[in-house]
C-alpha cells in the first residue's frame, strides 16, 4: 500500500511515519509539510492512500482530499487531526476514516484494516494497469520555434488551454531545460517574491499544467525526482528537440547533407526559439541556437564550390537570419560576379549599402566596390 503523509507540524508527522513504518505492507512514498507539494507528487506517482492533517496553511485537509481525488479518483483519504468537530464534515466528503490525535497503535490498526479492505475491493473491481512501457497514449505537441503553441499530438491536434500566461511560460521553461531544479525555476520566474511565496506559486502552477494536460489520452510527460523536475522527451513532440538532434548529428559526422539542411530549414522557417515571447531566460538560448544554425548554413554554403546556385540559396537564407552580415553579402556578390550575373551583383551591393546606411550610417567596404568593377 503506497501512502503519503501530509501535516504542517513536524512532530505529529514523524510520529505517524514511525508508527506506519512497522507494517510490512505499507510503503511510505512521500512525507510533506506543504499540501501543494503533496499534490505535485501525486500527479505523477501512484498513491493508494493519504493521511492528512485537517488544519494546514493554503489548503485544509478536506480541500486537499478533494484535490487529490481529482488526480487519483481511487485514492483513499484519512484525516488525522486534533479537532474532532470536523468528523461529520469529513464523512460527508467521502473520507475513509477520521482519526483524532494523538493516534494510538490500536486506532491506527483499525484504520489500516479499513484501507486494506477498500484496496482489495478496488483490485477486484478493476484490472491492474499496464506497465508504463506498454501504455498507449498521445504525445503532447510543443512548438517552440517561431512562437509557442501547445496541442495534443497525433492526427487530431487540439490546442491545450493553460490557465494563465505564467503557466504557459513555466511549461516552456521546463521543456527547454528538460531537467531543472525547483530552486532555479522559482528564481527564474518568481525572483521578485519571497522564497515561500515563490515555491507556493511554483507548486500551484505545476498543478495547473498537470490538470490541463491530464485529459485526452496524453502520455505523462512531467515527473519529479527529489528536487528536480524532468520532462520525458519520449512523451512529447517538440520541434526544438528535433532541431537540436539534427545539429548534434551534423556535428558528430562533421558534414551536412541536403536532407539535414532541408529538415532544419523547415523547422526554423517561422523563426527562432520562442519568437515573439519576451522571456528573458530564453534570450541567450535563442541566440546560441541561431548562431549554431547560421554556422551550419555558412559551412554548408562554403562547401558548395561546384554548386554556386545551391551556395547562393544557403547564403540568402543566412541573410534572412541576419541581413547586416557584410561578409555574407560579399560572398553573394562574389558568386554573382563569378557567374557573370553583373546586374544581380550590383543589386546586391545596392541592397547592402541601403541597409548599412539605414542601420549603421556607414558605407560598405571599399573592396566590394572593387570586386564589382573588376
Please list, in sequence order, all residues whose beta carbon lies within 8 angstroms of the beta carbon of residue 135, skipping any fewer than 6 positions away.
129, 219
The predicted model gives 261-282 an average pLDDT of 92
Kindly indicate the confidence band of residue 122, based on its pLDDT and cuts at 50, 70 and 90.
Answer: low
Residue 179 vs residue 254, higher pLDDT: 179
The predicted model gives 260-269 an average pLDDT of 89
Kindly indicate the confidence band of residue 123, based on its pLDDT and cuts at 50, 70 and 90.
Answer: low
Least confident of 6-10, 110-114, 211-215, 332-336: 211-215
The predicted model gives 114-137 an average pLDDT of 58
Q: Please give the biggest Cα pair distance in the chain.
A: 100
The predicted model gives 129-148 an average pLDDT of 71
Highest mean pLDDT among 10-24, 200-214, 334-348: 334-348
Q: How much is the CA Rg of the chain, to the nearest whole Å?
A: 29
User: CA 295 → CA 29, 64, 254, 328, distances in Å?
Assistant: 48, 52, 12, 12
Residue 244 vs residue 119, higher pLDDT: 244
End-to-end CA distance of the chain: 84
Each domain of the chain, given as residue ranges in start order, spans: 2-125, 135-300, 323-374
The pLDDT value recorded for residue 136 is 52
Whether residue 132 is predicted with pLDDT greater than 70 in this model: the reply is: no
Whether residue 329 is predicted with pLDDT greater than 90 in this model: the reply is: yes
Percent of the chain with pLDDT over 90: 42
Q: Which fold has domain 135-300?
A: Arc Repressor Mutant, subunit A (1.10.10)
Q: Which fold has domain 2-125?
A: Rossmann fold (3.40.50)
Whether residue 213 is predicted with pLDDT greater than 90 in this model: the reply is: no
The pLDDT value recorded for residue 223 is 85
Whether residue 304 is predicted with pLDDT greater than 80 in this model: the reply is: yes
User: CA 297 → CA 170, 197, 223, 318, 326, distances in Å?
Assistant: 32, 46, 36, 7, 16
Are 3 and 48 spatial neighbours (Cβ–Cβ below 8 Å)?
A: yes
Whether residue 332 is predicted with pLDDT greater than 70 in this model: the reply is: yes
* pTM, to two decimals: 0.61
Helix, strand or coil, per DSSP, at residue 30: strand
Amino acid at each position: 500500500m503506497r501512502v503519503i503523509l501530509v501535516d504542517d507540524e513536524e512532530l505529529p508527522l514523524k510520529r505517524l511515519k514511525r508508527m506506519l513504518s512497522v507494517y510490512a505492507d505499507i510503503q511510505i512514498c512521500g512525507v510533506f509539510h506543504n499540501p501543494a507539494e503533496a499534490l505535485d507528487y501525486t500527479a505523477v506517482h501512484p498513491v493508494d492512500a493519504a493521511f492528512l492533517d485537517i488544519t494546514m496553511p493554503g489548503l485544509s485537509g478536506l480541500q486537499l482530499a478533494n484535490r487529490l481525488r481529482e488526480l487519483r479518483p481511487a485514492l483513499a483519504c484519512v484525516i488525522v487531526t486534533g479537532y474532532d468537530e470536523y468528523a461529520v464534515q469529513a464523512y460527508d466528503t467521502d473520507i475513509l476514516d477520521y482519526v483524532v490525535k494523538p493516534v494510538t497503535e490500536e486506532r491506527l490498526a483499525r484504520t489500516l484494516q479499513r484501507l486494506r479492505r477498500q484496496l482489495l475491493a478496488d483490485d477486484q473491481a478493476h484490472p491492474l494497469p499496464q506497465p508504463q512501457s506498454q501504455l498507449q497514449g498521445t504525445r503532447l505537441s510543443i512548438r517552440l520555434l517561431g512562437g509557442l503553441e501547445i496541442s495534443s499530438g497525433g492526427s487530431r491536434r487540439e490546442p491545450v488551454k493553460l490557465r494563465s500566461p505564467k503557466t504557459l511560460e513555466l511549461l516552456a521553461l521546463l521543456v527547454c531545460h528538460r531537467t531543472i531544479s525547483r530552486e532555479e525555476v522559482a528564481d527564474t520566474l518568481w525572483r521578485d517574491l519571497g522564497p515561500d511565496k515563490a515555491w507556493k506559486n511554483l507548486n500551484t502552477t505545476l498543478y495547473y499544467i498537470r490538470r490541463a494536460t491530464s485529459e485526452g489520452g496524453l502520455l505523462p510527460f512531467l515527473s519529479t525526482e527529489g528536487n528536480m523536475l524532468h520532462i520525458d522527451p519520449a512523451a512529447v513532440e517538440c520541434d526544438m528537440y528535433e532541431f537540436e538532434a539534427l545539429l548534434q548529428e551534423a556535428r558528430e559526422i562533421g558534414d551536412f547533407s541536403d536532407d539535414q539542411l532541408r529538415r532544419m530549414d523547415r523547422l526554423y522557417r517561422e523563426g527562432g526559439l520562442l519568437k515573439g515571447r519576451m522571456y528573458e531566460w530564453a534570450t541567450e538560448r535563442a541566440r546560441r541556437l541561431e548562431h549554431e544554425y547560421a554556422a551550419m548554413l555558412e559551412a554548408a554554403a562554403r562547401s558548395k564550390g561546384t554548386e554556386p546556385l545551391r551556395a547562393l540559396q544557403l547564403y540568402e537564407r543566412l541573410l534572412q537570419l541576419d541581413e547586416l552580415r557584410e561578409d555574407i553579402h560579399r560572398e553573394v556578390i562574389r558568386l554573382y560576379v563569378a557567374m557573370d550575373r553583373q546586374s544581380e551583383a550590383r543589386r546586391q551591393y545596392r541592397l547592402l549599402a541601403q541597409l548599412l546606411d539605414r542601420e549603421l550610417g556607414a558605407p560598405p567596404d571599399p573592396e566590394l566596390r572593387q570586386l564589382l568593377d573588376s
